[in-house]
Each structure stands twice: as structure tokens, then as C-alpha cells.
Amino acid sequence: QVQLVESGGGLVQPGGSLRLSCAASGIDFRFSTMGWYRQAPGKQREMVASIRSRGTTSYADSVKGRFTISRDNAKNTLYLQMNSLKIEDTAVYYCKRVSPIETWGQGTQVTVSS
């Protein structure tokens, strides 16, 4: 069964850091383009970062320089390191298999509040 399970969300103060993990199973992770998306209350879901099978990364302008996406193919796990968090980063963060076939995780809540 194809499954993406996010973890690592929580409540942090502005300026703090958090690392999200996405454990993948039932998919050919090594050859999949993966991504992190987020959806804040009342807003459209947006792409945060993506990483191709060979390691090429892409980031939304709003998170460049603060977030880092990475993958461990041996562990079938995707990561998102989030530093210098801002209140506007508050959202549900979703792990996604972008290609070859789209698959979504259930999401994990990240709340940035003082």
C-alpha cells in the first residue's frame, strides 16, 4: 500500500527551528520526485520545496535561505529542515510524491507563535 507519513510538527516560537520527516512506503522512493507543501487556514495549498531523485532542489521564494529539503534514499525518508521560522509559516505541512504518480501524506501541523 502506498503511504506517506509526516511527523515532526508542533508549536515553536518565531525564530525557532523544526525538522519534519516523511516516511515513504509502497512506492519507488529512490526514483521519485518528492515535495513539501503547506496550507494555512483560509489559504490555497502551496509548494514549499521539492527534490528530484538525483538531488536537485527547488524552493518557494518565501522560504529560500530558511528551509532545506533533503532525502535519505536508504531510509525512504524525506526531510524538511525549517529555520528562522516566522508566524506566517504556520500551516499544515504535507509530504507529496510529485512524480511519477502524485501521492499525498496526511499532513502535520506546524504552529509558529510567541
31-43 pLDDT tens trace: 999 999 999 999 9
Confidence (pLDDT) at 27: 78
Tell which residue, 20, 19, 78, 22, has the closest CA to residue 52: 78
Confidence band for 1, pLDDT divided at 50, 70 and 90: confident
What value does the mean pLDDT of the chain take? 96
DSSP code per residue over 83-95? -S--GGG-EEEEE
Confidence (pLDDT) at 26: 82
